[in-house]
Amino acid sequence: MSLYSSRLYRRSPVLLQNAAISFKGLLSRVTRRSRRFSKVLAQIRARETLTVEGIRDFQCRELRFIIEHATRNVPYYRKLFEGCGLSESMIQSPDDLKKLPCLEKETVRTQPLQFVPTNLKKWLLIRAGTSGSTGTPLQLYRTLDSVIYEHGYVWRQFAWAGGSLGNRIVALRGDVVVPSSHRTPPFWRHNLAENTLIMSSYHIAEDTIPLYLAAIRDFQPTLIYSYPSAVYPLAEYIVRKKLAGDFIVDPGFWTRQ
């Protein structure tokens, strides 16, 4: 169960919700200060210089590794390959993936343990899940290494935008940090450990957008980490109300280096 969907979190006051999110953020921060993270991030950045052929070779090698692992250790894929009459050798490149049937979300939702590798100790896995904002949450299990790789790719993209570890960030995605039933601000929570203001994308409306913009302006982020569909209403409001100058002239806002 995710932090945001827990009953205790939803019933806690804002101060305690901020504390819970900050504690979770502290764990992520420790992960990003590890040697493993530094090594993974260096590997990811090194691949930026690969040629098209080099990228293709890397993709094929990684795919073959995943297929071998899945067919030998993951119950769902072991049964799938046997049922379809497929073997590891038949999947050599991304082009071969069309030989596999599409995986439906409902299958993952109803059979989560079928996707847990048998060669891993379950107590070492991290239980995770989606927010269920579409009405069908997923229960997932992850390794610490998968979390580290995710952080690595995210921070590589932040670096492309001029960001670095420790920067102030506004996260405006699908995080249900505020229960959908709440109708009064704040519609965001503060992750102190990661210097991040996590905003609910589900409370954005014509009458709440000024509140969001004021909070962002006060927070003075270096980056806004968002789904396009979430940040678009804010940008459209700024243009429509001719507020762009208000943000550009504020020291450190949108143009902060």
Nearest Cα neighbor of 227 from 156, 170, 178, 146 is 170
Binned at pLDDT 50, 70 and 90, residue 114 comes out as very high
Nearest Cα neighbor of 234 from 254, 257, 252, 256 is 254
Contact 18, 189 (CB under 8 A): yes
Q: Is residue 39 part of a domain?
A: no
Q: What is the pLDDT of residues 72-102, one digit of tens each?
A: 999 999 999 999 999 999 999 999 999 999 9
Q: Is residue 185 part of a domain?
A: yes
- Domain limits at 116? 45-152
Q: What CA–CA distance (Å, rounded) separates 212 from 203?
A: 10
Q: What is the pLDDT of residues 178-227, one digit of tens each?
A: 987 888 999 999 999 999 999 999 999 999 999 999 999 999 998 899 99
So what's the pLDDT on residue 180? 79
Residues 135 and 214 in one domain: no
Residues 62 and 100 in one domain: yes
Give the chain's domain count: 2
Residue 200 tokens, joined: 């609910």
Q: Is residue 13 part of a domain?
A: no
So what's the pLDDT on residue 66? 95
Residues 116 and 194 in one domain: no
Q: Is residue 213 part of a domain?
A: yes
Residues 195 and 217 in one domain: yes
Residues 122 and 183 in one domain: no
Q: Is residue 84 part of a domain?
A: yes
Residues 56 and 145 in one domain: yes
